[in-house]
Every structure is written in structure tokens, then in C-alpha cells.
Structure 1
Amino acid sequence: MRELLEAVILGVVQGTTEFLPISSSGHLLLGQYFFGMDQEKYGLTFDVALHLGSLLAVIAYFRRDLAEIARAFLRSIPHPNFGDSDQRVAYLLIVATLPAAAVGFLFRGFFEGLRSPWAVIAGLTVFGVLFILSERVGGKRKQAAKMSFRDALIIGVGQAIALLPGVSRSGSTITFGLFLGLDRQEAARFSFLMSIPITAGACLVQIPQAYSENLTPWLGFLFFAGFAVSGAVAYLTIAFLLAFFRRYSMRAFAYYSFAVSALVAVLLLLGF
């Protein structure tokens, strides 16, 4: 029963933090570290299951947008019309995916070697500051379809930076979007859409390695539980954040990041 509870807890953490700008990888690492969870049991296969759950959630939530973008992309072949907003968004998403795909492919081992609670503290703190700055100097009313391809590449760099432990993928890309003049909801929507190809690609790369791990029926059940909980919670989180940004800013997440960083630092210094 304890193992099932742990799987559910990690599913809730993944589903909540994957799209809130507070770092899913950082919270998963901290949860496993402080609760003494078996890192071998909840290894790569479980990580893939959690990310597949959140991937399915974002696809389900934006299914109509994705259908329009897919049709627009097919219409664009072989002569794209960047005056068509859906076609432009399709190509902006492709460009925005390139930096993280390249960096992840070339330096994946390097980033995995940086995983530690202190790295999470650093990532949360730095981006907490950037959340506040982006609200002060950015966040105009530009729509995602009006972005340049240079803007999309810059947001893509933000997604690549999120490979660092403690750096939220959604937080980084939304922040870069605000700096470039997008409003919060547009920045969040573009961030969620651009998470689809990079998450799908990461899962596809990891599945062969995960498949080689010994998987008993009980572990399979735990992974399915984590997958289902992650997907359900992620869907609700996306809806919540888009509604939240209609009225509130990124500052709340900055203060949360500072509080978590301070708490974790104190616990580590006390020897926990």
C-alpha cells in the first residue's frame, strides 16, 4: 500500500508541477530525496510513465488547436503562407523545439549529472527573480501568431535552459515569452503547445532503455497508477493556470520558489 501511495504522490507532483512554473523535475527529485523513496524502483521507466501522462493531458486539452495547426501545416506543403496564423504557429512551434532537441541530444548526460537538491535550489531562486523581472518589463499584448521566428528561437532557448535541474520548463518558456511581449495567457498557451514535441521526443528516446528494465506486474500497476494520476492532475493544472493568468501574475510563483528554496536549504544544512 505504501508503494501505491508513493506512486500516486509522484503522479500528483508531476501532473501539478509539469505545467505550473515551479519545476517538475526539481520537485520530483526533492520528493524522492526527502521521503527516502527508492530511486531504483522509481527510475527511468516510472519517469517515462509520468511524462506520458502529462503529455496525454496537454494533447487532450489542446486537441482542437492541434487539429487546426496540423491541418494548416499540411496545407503549407510545399509553399508555406506565413500570413496564415495557423500555418505560422505550426512553423513557430517547429523552430521553438529545435534548441532543446539539439541540446538534449548532445548534452543529456551532462545535465543528468547535475541533479542534486542544491542545483534545484539554485534553479528555483534564479528563475524566481526572472519571474518578477518579466512581469515588470514584459507581458504586453502580442499574440503568438505575430511572433517572429527569432522570437520562437529565443523561447526555444528558454526550453533548453530548463534541462537544468530546478528550472521549470513552463516557467522558463513563459518568462521568455513575457520578455518578448506576449501576454501571460498567450505565453502559457504557446509554452504548453511547444511542450508536446519535446516531451514526446524525450519519451521516445527513453522508451527502449526503459523497456530493458525488469518490470513485474506489480511495478507495472504502480507505473500505470502514476501515469493515470499524472495525466488527470496535469489536465486540471493546465485549465487552472490559464484561468489564473487572466487575473494574476507570475509573482506568486516567484514567492513560492523563494520559499521552497529557503526551506530546502535549511533542511539540507540541518543534515536532513
Structure 2
Amino acid sequence: MNPLEAIILGFIQGLTEFLPISSSAHVQIAQEVFGFGDLTKPQLTAFIATIQIGTELAVVSYFAKSVIEILRSWFKNGFRPWSKQEPNSRLGWLVIIGTVPIVVLGLIFQDAIETELRQLWIIGVMLIVFGLILGLGDRIGSKTKQLGELNLRSGLAFGFGQALALIPGVSRSGGSITVGLMLGFTREAAARYSFLLAIPAVLGAGAYQFLGSYQDLPEDLLAATIAATIVSFVVGYAVIAWLLRYLIKGSYMPFVIWRVGVGSALLIALGLGAI
């Protein structure tokens, strides 16, 4: 993979990470359709996990003030009785608790995630199925709850929604946002918590994958990965700002249509042997 190909994939990663359409699916589709590089599936998994660090650094940068307030409150009040903690301290615990499902399931099914599950047929089906589920959640959810109304049960439910993204094509933000909508949270509140919830999971997964695989990557691929990570950071930051403004009035239906369209086109192409 040369630097230009990596930058294109980094752009796709940054553009799609925070939209509920599955960034890993779009990166893999682009890589296989256009033949960017001759990567093994474990190498592709490591590449995707690493460039996701760029987008998560974009989240940390965009929500820096909130992250600092949450950490400060958690260290100050986090070990008091739940009822006596400040809202930000409780939010810190909810992020920790919500991260547990994806960490545990990710470690258990790591081999399958890096090999068997990374198939375009699975990605196509998941894009369609979870796109329709997202549309259902957006339609039937009451969309009345704000971020301050999160509790232990709903925080953990968000976490299991995020863990569904271990299946390529589901989407980390899409899975957790869908759960939030089903629980009655507003579109913006569901997205904000989804972004905060992703920070420890994605940074941890990216660091784990990078440290475990960079020794086996040739220098040109390592340099290309760093370039893609920088691009994903810049583009991801812009997408966060746009999406949160859009969700004040907009719905998730355009993303549902996109998911179903891309998934259908992918399955048709696979069926015809075009890919």
C-alpha cells in the first residue's frame, strides 16, 4: 500500500467513523474493490484499528473540555456512594461500565473478528440489517431523554450496542446510537454518549493492535498507516462538528438509506462475481 492509497483510506475512515454506517466496512470495501495494497486480513484489521486512533483523538480533541471535567470529577468523587456523586463522576463510571462488553467480547472472539468475520458477504448483510434496525429505532424512539438521564442499566445497554460493532458492517456508533434511540434518548444525546463511550474502546483496541503487529509490518506500510491516521483525525474532527449540528433537527434516515443501498450493491456485485 502506497501513501496515496493509505491517505484515501484514511479519508474514508475519518468520513465514516462517526456516521452510523460502519467505517471498517467502508474501508475494507474500498480496499478490496480498488485493490489498495496486498494486505492480509490480520494486516488490514491492524491498519483499520490503527487509523481509528486518529478519529478517536479527534473525539478527545473535540470533547476535550468535557473529558477533562469528567476525569476531574471522577477522581474527586468517583468512589463516593452513587447518590452522592456529581453527574460527571457518574458519567465517568457509565463510560467505564459501558466499555466492558466490547473489551470482554473482543478478547474472546479476537481470532474470528480478524479472520472469518471479515468477509464482504457478512458486511453486506450487516449493513442492510442494522441499517433497517437503526431506521426502526429512529422512528419509534420517543427521543425525549437527555444525557443526564443515563443510569447504570441504560449505560450498559449502550455498551452492548457498541459491542455489536465487533461484527464488521454493524458500526460502533450505529449500534450504540440505535440502542439509545430505542431507550428514548434524543438523537444528539445518543450520539454524544456514543462518541464518549468509544474513546477508551477504540484507543485501547488501536494501541493493542498496533503494538501487536507493527513489528511485522514493512516500513512502507507503517509509514502509510501513520499518514492515514493523520488524515482520519482531521476529517473525523470536521465530521463530528457537522453531525452534532445536523442532529439538532435532522434524522438518521439518510444514513439508513445509504447503508441499505451500499449493502445491496455489495451483495449484488458479489453475486455477479464482480468483486
TM-score of the aligned structures, taking structure 1 as reference length: 0.93
The corresponding residue for 1:30 is 29
The corresponding residue for 1:59 is 60
Gaps of 5+ in 1: none
Q: Choose which of 237, 253, 256 in structure 2 pairs with 1:254.
A: 256
Residues 16-165 of structure 1: pairs in structure 2 closer than 5 A: 16-40=15-39, 43-82=44-83, 84-112=86-114, 113-165=116-168
CA contact (8 A) 2:122 2:168 kept: yes
The corresponding residue for 2:3 is 4
Cα offsets for 1:229-254 (capped at 9, x unmatched) = 11001101111111111121111111
Instruction: Give 3-state SS (helix, strand or coil) of 2:167's partner.
Output: coil
CA contact (8 A) 1:139 1:184 kept: no
CA contact (8 A) 2:98 2:197 kept: yes
Cα offsets for 1:146-168 (capped at 9, x unmatched) = 12201111111101111001101
When residues 46 and 140 of structure 1 are mapped into structure 2, their CA distance, relative to the original with a 3 A threshold, is: closer
Distance 2:89 2:191 in 1: 19
Q: Counterpart amino acid of 1:256?
A: W
Gaps of 5+ in 2: none
Number of aligned positions between the proteins: 270
Distance 1:270 1:107 in 2: 31
Deviation at 1:80, TM superposition (A): 4.4
**Residue 191 (structure 1) aligned with residue 190 (structure 2):** no
Cα offsets for 1:20-47 (capped at 9, x unmatched) = 0000111111111111122428635533
Distance 1:29 1:238 in 2: 22
CA contact (8 A) 1:7 1:225 kept: yes
Q: Choose which of 216, 225, 232 in structure 1 pairs with 2:234.
A: 232
TM-score of the aligned structures, taking structure 2 as reference length: 0.93
Deviation at 1:18, TM superposition (A): 0.9
Q: Which moved more, 1:185-194 or 1:201-210?
A: 201-210
Q: Counterpart amino acid of 1:16?
A: L
When residues 26 and 32 of structure 1 are mapped into structure 2, their CA distance, relative to the original with a 3 A threshold, is: same
